Amino acid sequence: MVKVIPMQEEHIEGVLAVEEATFSIPWTRKDFEREVRENAMAIYFVAIDDSLDEEKVVGYAGMWHVITEGHITNVAVLHEYRRQGIGDLLMENLEKVALEREMIGITLEVRINNEAAQRLYHKYGFRPEGIRKNYYADTREDAVIMWKYYPFYEGYEEHCNKG
């Protein structure tokens, strides 16, 4: 069974394993230590498989709360655990925090060719708002900037009716 809990320092080793298995330019141990220890804006969750003899981090998601909005930093699930709803659980936890804190919305960047991730984000109401050219250093691939706005956003109705 997989459970989602707030990330603690003790999860960093497992998060690193997911990070390195998922991304071509992975964050480092120091990056995650800084997020957990020093970054007051950071909100991270881990997905733990507790059906094994030893609990295993199988996914994680992070977001920064910047003034009135959220910025998703990463969402990752180990390949063998994908398509089991773990990405959904992680996104639901980020959204719950965003709503509790009355953020006006959440944004993220995703590789233009990462259709699976874009489908997940669309499912949660994220819409493309722009492109960051040559965003990814390893491939010079463009990123799609996606946003999801909440009713707390003063221009919410107008924004939703523009498309």
Q: Which residues are paired to 60 by β-bridges?
A: 46, 76
Counts of helices then strands in the chain (DSSP H, E): 5, 7
Using DSSP bridges, classify how beta strands 56-66 and 2-6 pair: parallel, antiparallel or unpaired: unpaired
Per the annotation, the verdict on 121 as an active-site residue is: yes
Q: Hey, which residues does 69 pair with through a beta bridge?
A: 66, 105
Q: Say which of 19, 44, 109, 153 is annotated catalytic.
A: 109
CB atoms within 10 A of CB 9: 10
Which residue in 35, 60, 95, 121 is the catalytic one? 121
Active-site annotation, residues: 109, 121
